[in-house]
Chain A
Amino acid sequence: MHFHRFEKIWLIFGMVSLIVFLSIVGVSAFAMDQHPSGGMDTIDPEKVEETPPFDDPGVRQIDEDTYEVVMIAMAFGYEPSQIEVPAGKEIVFKVTSTDVTHSFTIVDTKVNMMVIPGQINEKRYTFDEPGEYLVLCNEYCGAGHHVMSTTIKVVE
Chain B
Amino acid sequence: MNSIIDKQDRKLALSHILVGYFAFLIGTFCGLLQVFIRNDAIELPNWLDYYQILTAHGVLLALVFTTFFIFGFLISGMSKTLGTFGPKTRGFSWIGFYLMVIGTTMTTVTIISGQASVLYTFYAPLQASGWFYVGLALVIVGSWVLGFSLIGHYIVWKKAHKKQLSPLFAFMTVATIILWVIACLGIVVAALFQFIPWAFGWVETINVELSRSLFWYFGHPLVYFWLLPAYMAWYVVVPKIIGGKVFSDALARLSFVLFILFSIPVGFHHQLTEPGIESFWKFLQVVLTFMVIIPSLMTAFSLFATFEITGRKKGGRGLFGWFTKLPWRDVRFTSIFIAMAFFIPGGAGGIINASFQMNEVIHNTMWVVGHFHITVGTPVAMTFMGITFWLIPHLTGRKLTKSIKKLAFIQIITWAIGMLLMSTSQHILGLLGAPRRTSYTGYNGNNVALEWFDGILSNHVTMAIGGSILFLSAMLLIYIVVITCVASPKATTEAELVEFPIAESDPGATPRFLENWWIWIGICFALIAIAYTIPIMDMIQHAPPGSTGFQTW
B125 within 8 A of A: yes
Q: Is A119 touching B209 in the complex (CB atoms < 8 A)?
A: yes
Q: Is B443 touching A136 in the complex (CB atoms < 8 A)?
A: yes
Q: Is A143 touching B254 in the complex (CB atoms < 8 A)?
A: no
Name the one of A25, A103, A117, A142 contacting B208, with C-beta atoms under 8 angstroms: A117
Given A99-B552, A134-B449: A25 touches B364 (CB 8 Å cut-off) = no
Given A99-B125, A108-B448: A120 touches B275 (CB 8 Å cut-off) = yes
Q: Which of A2-10, A54-62, A63-71, A83-91 contacts B (4 or more CB under 8 A)?
A: A2-10
A53 within 8 A of B: no
B274 within 8 A of A: yes
B545 within 8 A of A: yes
Chain B residues with CB under 8 Å of A34's CB are 357
Name the one of B51, B361, B550 contacting A99, with C-beta atoms under 8 angstroms: B550
Name the one of B446, B511, B542, B552 contacting A141, with C-beta atoms under 8 angstroms: B552
0/1 string, B278-301, CB within 8 A of A gives 1: 110011001100110110011001
Q: Is B433 touching A108 in the complex (CB atoms < 8 A)?
A: yes
Q: Is A41 touching B275 in the complex (CB atoms < 8 A)?
A: yes
A54 to chain B, nearest CB (A): 13
Taken together as a complex, chains A and B put the C-alpha atoms of A44 and B209 apart, in Å, by 13
Taken together as a complex, chains A and B put the C-alpha atoms of A18 and B548 apart, in Å, by 43
Taken together as a complex, chains A and B put the C-alpha atoms of A7 and B553 apart, in Å, by 53
Given A120-B275, A134-B443, A139-B123: A145 touches B51 (CB 8 Å cut-off) = yes
By size class, the interface of chain B is 35 or more
User: B residues 428-467 with Cβ under 8 Å of A?
Assistant: 433, 435-441, 443-444, 446, 448-449
Taken together as a complex, chains A and B put the C-alpha atoms of A37 and B363 apart, in Å, by 12
Taken together as a complex, chains A and B put the C-alpha atoms of A144 and B435 apart, in Å, by 14
Chain A residues with CB under 8 Å of B443's CB are 134, 136, 147, 149
A5 to chain B, nearest CB (A): 12
Chain B residues with CB under 8 Å of A112's CB are 273, 360-361, 363-364
Q: Is B125 touching A100 in the complex (CB atoms < 8 A)?
A: yes
Taken together as a complex, chains A and B put the C-alpha atoms of A15 and B250 apart, in Å, by 20
Q: Is B294 touching A119 in the complex (CB atoms < 8 A)?
A: no
B277 within 8 A of A: yes
A154 within 8 A of B: no
A99, A110, A117 — which one has the most chain B CB atoms within 10 A of its CB?
A: A117
Q: Is A122 touching B275 in the complex (CB atoms < 8 A)?
A: yes
Chain A residues with CB under 8 Å of B363's CB are 112, 114, 138
Taken together as a complex, chains A and B put the C-alpha atoms of A19 and B469 apart, in Å, by 41
Q: A22-B286, A100-B123, A112-B363 are in contact. List 12 more A-B contacts (CB 8 A).
A: A1-B251, A2-B248, A4-B305, A10-B301, A11-B297, A25-B356, A37-B274, A41-B275, A45-B544, A107-B433, A144-B552, A146-B439
Using CB atoms and an 8 Å cutoff, list the residues of chain B in contact with chain A.
49, 51, 117, 119, 123-126, 207-209, 212, 248, 250-251, 254, 271-279, 282-283, 286-287, 290-291, 293-294, 297-298, 301, 305, 351, 355-357, 359-361, 363-365, 433, 435-441, 443-444, 446, 448-449, 509-511, 542-548, 550-553
Using CB atoms and an 8 Å cutoff, list the residues of chain A in contact with chain B.
1-4, 6-7, 10-11, 14-15, 18, 21-22, 25-26, 28-30, 34-46, 75-76, 99-101, 103, 105, 107-108, 110-114, 116-122, 134, 136-147, 149, 151
Closest 6 CB pairs of A and B: A142-B552, A138-B435, A42-B544, A118-B544, A114-B274, A146-B441
